[in-house]
A and B are shown apart, each in its own frame.
Chain A
């Protein structure tokens, strides 16, 4: 998997501001050299309304408001010698983001989490973020913090917690982290063992065997990361993955949770649930989702 050279930064400004962007510029110590800003004006804000028609004036106003912000941000990055691009488009968030990511050849998409804007209105709908996570062939960082407590983690990539389920996407996540050795201080690699392993019917021997096998698999991943120059430590938790990942993130003072995203079909995901989606949407930690190698293309 390639380095993070180009980042697509999708914002509506209220959830992801310049401070969030700056915190991600630590990735320059790895390979980041190009940031593409994107603002999607949802079609219903300017669409045909009874008696009003298409609100061209509103579109221009929204475009220019976004443009003013992006010009300020771009000037700062240009002056630091970075390459910057911009998209301000009217349309549906998911398809526009996927199109831009494909056109730009982005290595990472950054988006704010779905947060309440007031009343029942969400800045992004949960389903839009879920759809993006499911359809993106590019890793997606769901960034958080600003809308909840005005606190942003300074260096989100400094202490990632990699939660593995041994699937292909989790293995891909390990490869994705390797080029970030200049940015990462320490990785915690965890696996949440199924509670059934500790059921009353299981013998002490069986429980210990489960722990031993899991531990060895985690140590192999840690060895692999350490061979790439990244300090790594294994962690085993038992129980509900959503809760235990959150607990581990807290206990090891993680700056970021990294997960392989589900390769299940949409139908299976609805039926079985999805830990990556739950963490991405509900956890207070920034969450980096690595898709399986063959994700659906933009469309």
Chain B
């Protein structure tokens, strides 16, 4: 059975793009439109990988990422961030949150800034999942 990969992104075009890349490379795609939906799918399906956007309605990828990394059950689920938000801002946001929470959150497995080519995303997935 192929590995499940969750795409969390509110942009239907990006969802379609990522789902197509995943299917072409033999993975089973799952989708969610925001951080809240994403976390619900993660709890239910426990995917092998999460491809995560940052700027979304209801709950951002930053909050979802932090929830994942501080939850004993899901902290080992790899994450590729795919976003228009720069890596620098993403990491600084985690530091800002760490100041409040007193925890150091590890970096995501890979960080890709939109837009990406299909091969770039496919290679990133293969690199992380091995």
| Interface residue ranges, A against B (CB under 8 Å) | 36, 67, 70-71, 74-75, 78-81, 83-87, 100, 103-104
Report whether B60 and A81 are in contact in the complex, using a CB–CB cutoff of 8 Å. no
Given contacts A71-B84, A75-B85, contact A81 B99 (CB under 8 A): yes
Report whether A104 and B93 are in contact in the complex, using a CB–CB cutoff of 8 Å. no
Report whether A85 and B84 are in contact in the complex, using a CB–CB cutoff of 8 Å. no
- What DSSP secondary structure best describes chain A's contact surface? helix
- A interface footprint on B38-65 (CB within 8 Å = 1, 0 otherwise): 0000000000000000111111101100
Report whether B89 and A79 are in contact in the complex, using a CB–CB cutoff of 8 Å. yes
Whether B30 sits at the interface, judged by CB under 8 Å, is: no
Pairs of residues from A and B, 3 with the lowest C-beta to C-beta distance, nearest first: A81-B96, A78-B93, A75-B89
Report whether B85 and A83 are in contact in the complex, using a CB–CB cutoff of 8 Å. no
Report whether B96 and A80 are in contact in the complex, using a CB–CB cutoff of 8 Å. yes
Q: How many residues of B contact A (CB 8 A)?
A: 21
Given contacts A71-B84, A71-B85, contact A81 B100 (CB under 8 A): yes
Nearest chain A CB to B59 CB, angstrom units: 8
CB nearest neighbor in A for B34: A85
What are 22 sample pairs from A and B whose C-beta atoms fall under 8 A apart? A70-B55, A74-B85, A75-B85, A75-B89, A78-B54, A78-B60, A78-B90, A78-B92, A80-B96, A81-B93, A81-B96, A81-B100, A83-B59, A85-B34, A85-B60, A86-B55, A86-B56, A86-B57, A87-B57, A103-B58, A104-B57, A104-B58
Tell me the complex Cα distance, A170–B96, Å: 38
Report whether B62 and A85 are in contact in the complex, using a CB–CB cutoff of 8 Å. no
Nearest chain A CB to B7 CB, angstrom units: 18
Nearest chain B CB to A97 CB, angstrom units: 13
CB nearest neighbor in B for A84: B60
Report whether A74 and B55 are in contact in the complex, using a CB–CB cutoff of 8 Å. yes
Report whether B89 and A85 are in contact in the complex, using a CB–CB cutoff of 8 Å. no
Tell me the complex Cα distance, A285–B112, Å: 44
Whether B97 sits at the interface, judged by CB under 8 Å, is: yes
User: Which residues in B have their C-beta under 8 angstroms from that of A67?
Assistant: 84
Whether B25 sits at the interface, judged by CB under 8 Å, is: no
Task: Beyond the given A79-B93, A85-B56, please list 12 additional residue pairs across the A-B interface where CB-CB is below 8 A.
Answer: A67-B84, A71-B55, A74-B54, A75-B85, A78-B62, A78-B85, A78-B92, A81-B93, A83-B62, A83-B63, A85-B60, A103-B58
Tell me the complex Cα distance, A84–B62, Å: 9
Nearest chain A CB to B11 CB, angstrom units: 9
Report whether B55 and A81 are in contact in the complex, using a CB–CB cutoff of 8 Å. no
User: Which residues in A have their C-beta under 8 angstroms from that of B60?
Assistant: 78, 83-85
